[in-house]
Structure 1
Amino acid sequence: MRRFLALLAMLLLGSWTTLAAAESFTPAQRAEIVEILRNALKTDPGILRDAITALQDADGAQQQAAMRSAIAAAGNALTKTPGDPVEGNVRGDVTVVEFYDLRCPYCRRMLPVAAELLRRDGNVRIVYKDIPILGPASMLGARAVLAAQKQGGYLKLRTALMSGPADITTDTLRAAAERTGLDWDKLQKDMTDPAVQARIDANLTLARRLGIQGTPAYVIGDRMMPGAVELADLQSAIAATRQGQKQ
């Protein structure tokens, strides 16, 4: 009986208009249901809690299903875009896709976590998707690290910038570039290459398609993991992806 009442409460909370439109109940029947629930809630308030929990679970399941569909639709754009920066085992059996902003404090917090992940697991491949969403300084940094690829310095400059001041300027950028052995004049020229901006635009478009609203965000297999997460969470998602590949 409790389960039945919780179901009625869930329907009333989440889809009463659907019930009315479908004309499943007459107005008198609906009024009677409301009265039954009102009386039941007086004696057992937990019914409402159960209904809300059921609604949240249903919403979560729908969101997960929608996300899996979006990830599947993205296909190779996620893991196999030519020229995407890669760290770890380029032939790894699991790819972790990280959407990040160089200035994001949570992304910076994940820098040692990713390093530890790669240290412990030699069969993981990380693909970096620069999405400069925190203003002009982020865009400046993103253009710089992507331009640094032409000198084989993406990872070095990325680490230097994410370990330095969050307010990326031309001066801090030049200092980081020279400290990591990059040719500053060439870097400046390569930053104006339309291909660099095209890569950033493609990353931003892909992030929007996936519904990513903040950084960092990780895609592992058919899972999306938003925000700074624990190493154990990444390892668990990787293990689940490996298990799914065996089936």
Structure 2
Amino acid sequence: MIRFAAPAVTALALLTGQAQATELTAMSDEDRAAFRNEVREYLMENPEVILEAVNALEQRQAQAAAQADVDMVQANHDAIFNDGYSWVGGNPEGDITLVEFMDYRCGYCRKAVPEVAELLRKDGNIRLIVKEFPILGEASVASSRFAIATRIVAGPDAYAQVHDALMEMQGDTTNVVLSRLAEGLGLDADAILAEMNSDQVNEELRRNHALAQKLKISGTPTFVLQDEMLRGYLPAAQMARIVAEKRKDG
């Protein structure tokens, strides 16, 4: 029979893998029962060990998830930062790049608009890339099609105007409503509507969705800040702190 001269040490060693796995398999039923009792008694006397173990596990999982995000960003770098079609704002020559995957019908995307604007205004050296990622139904898809078509037909400045207007729009995005929006901004509504279902618009949406799938993005807004993924809404102050850390590390 195996004797347990130092119960706590032996139990923890076995639990943490510091002892040979064969020590467990070599135990008789009586030995296993004694071991279980020792473990139980130790944990009852030292319950903080459980919390320490849980915290350590959560920290390891968070670190693993963060590293997985870094690896995914690196593997898809060009598609994220240099796709050749996504709208680029802020400071195009900025030393930090912020990419946003957004949906016009997403409440948190709308909430993020002033936060991103404040970040860009206060920093002045951030490059912003917007990825059209409609996932909340047909109205979202129609809005993104309209925005992309506007950029193709009328250029990036017109896109920026339409983007902001769609973020504030209430109600359905019918062709009549979108036409009035374009006309109100002095744009060629007919040309934009005709472009909405073009192969170029279809391909851009397809590529954005494929990229989001590779990055395991399932919700909006999702940001990519340099090599880090920020999943969900963040206030400007928090994003600014992360930007500062990136500059310090870089």
Q: Which category describes the TM-score, using the shorter chain as reference length?
A: 0.7 to 0.9
Q: Which structure 1 residue ranges, 4+ long, deviate > 6 Å from structure 2? A: 1-8
SS of the residue corresponding to residue 232 of structure 1 reads helix
Structure 2 partner of 1:89: 91
Question: How big is the shift at 1:174?
Answer: 2.2
Alignment of 1:151-170 (within 5 A): 151-152=154-155, 153-165=158-170, 167-170=172-175
Structure 2 partner of 1:53: 55
Tell me which of 150, 155, 172 is aligned to 2:177: 172
- How many residues matched? 237
Alignment of 1:1-247 (within 5 A): 23=22, 25-26=24-25, 28=27, 32-150=34-152, 151-152=154-155, 153-165=158-170, 167-245=172-250
Q: 1:99, 1:129 within 8 Å by CA — same for their partners in 2?
A: yes
* 1:59-110 per-position Cα deviation (integer Å, ceiling 9, x unaligned): 1111111111001001111111112101111111111000111110000001
Question: How big is the shift at 1:175?
Answer: 2.6
Question: How big is the shift at 1:30?
Answer: 5.8
Scaled by the length of structure 2, the TM-score of the pair is 0.86
Q: 1:10, 1:52 within 8 Å by CA — same for their partners in 2?
A: no
- Give distance in 2, aligned partners of 1:194 and 1:115: 32
- Give distance in 1, aligned partners of 2:144 and 2:15: 50
Partner AA of 2:210 in structure 1: T
SS of the residue corresponding to residue 87 of structure 1 reads strand
Structure 1 residue ranges without an equivalent (≥5): 12-18
RMSD of Structure 2 on Structure 1 (CA): 2.5
Change (3 A) 1:195 1:47: same
Change (3 A) 1:240 1:33: farther
Structure 2 partner of 1:15: none
Question: How big is the shift at 1:171?
Answer: 3.0
Partner AA of 1:92 in structure 2: G
- Give distance in 2, aligned partners of 1:213 and 1:111: 20
Structure 2 residue ranges without an equivalent (≥5): 1-6
Bigger Cα Rg = 2
Question: How big is the shift at 1:170?
Answer: 2.4
Change (3 A) 1:198 1:51: same
SS of the residue corresponding to residue 192 of structure 1 reads coil
- Give distance in 2, aligned partners of 1:2 and 1:174: 74
Name the stretch that deviates more: 148-157 or 170-179: 170-179
Question: How big is the shift at 1:242?
Answer: 1.9
Change (3 A) 1:6 1:221: farther
Q: 2:8, 2:38 within 8 Å by CA — same for their partners in 1?
A: no
Aligned-residue sequence identity (percent) comes to 33
- Give distance in 1, aligned partners of 2:218 and 2:173: 22
Question: How big is the shift at 1:210?
Answer: 0.8
Change (3 A) 1:45 1:147: same
Change (3 A) 1:224 1:23: farther
Name the stretch that deviates more: 70-79 or 37-46: 37-46
Change (3 A) 1:94 1:170: same
